A = this chain, B = another copy of it.
Amino acid sequence: MKLSTRGRYGTRALLDLALHSDESPVPLKDIARRQQISLPYLEHLVTPLVAGEIIRSIRGAHGGISLLKSPEKIRLSEVIRLLEGSIAPVECVIHPDICPRVGSCAMCDIWDEIRKAICGVLEGTTLQELVERQRQKEASRNGETLGSEGAVRAEQPKDT
């Protein structure tokens, strides 16, 4: 139940793009450098986002990628689906025909509840929210350094 680098790097790249968007396209090279992702690998991560029409790319000098939709309209669920495929934790939830037990299997219900729970979080988070959250974190981090309000460092999660 771990996210692969596709999901992790891909969302970071998209967030980076949103943070550095100012009309002109952002070159992959810049994103790769800032996010410490190898350029050739990042190219592959970006492909499904282009195909999914979340971003568009422009080739040639001064090219790069840019958002196709405003950040408020880009939901994380859509991004993760493009990067990682179906969100369901088991196949039979989404393709009930592949499992002979569907219909008399109690576990399926639970797996589907988990799918819904994950979708709920992802659906309810937009790129815009991530941008704001990130800006705020960076600001408060700088503030910390300057000596003003820290104390945001919360407790560790109790369960894994």
Contact = CB atoms under 8 A, between A and B. Distances in A.
A114 interface: yes
A3 B125 contact: no
A29 interface: no
Interface in A88-102: 88-91, 93-94, 96
A148 interface: no
A160 B78 CA distance: 10
Contacts of A63: none
B114 A118 contact: yes
Interface string A1-44: 11100011001100100000000000000000000000000000
Contacts of A113: 121
A110 interface: yes
A134 B103 CA distance: 10
B106 A134 contact: yes
B119 A118 contact: no
Interface residues of A, number: 54
A105 interface: yes
A77 B159 contact: yes
Given A106-B137, A107-B130, A81 B117 contact: no
Interface in A75-92: 76-77, 81, 84, 86-91
Given A104-B138, A110-B122, 14 more contacts: A1-B118, A2-B91, A3-B90, A8-B90, A12-B107, A76-B110, A87-B159, A88-B160, A103-B153, A106-B131, A106-B134, A110-B125, A110-B130, A112-B157
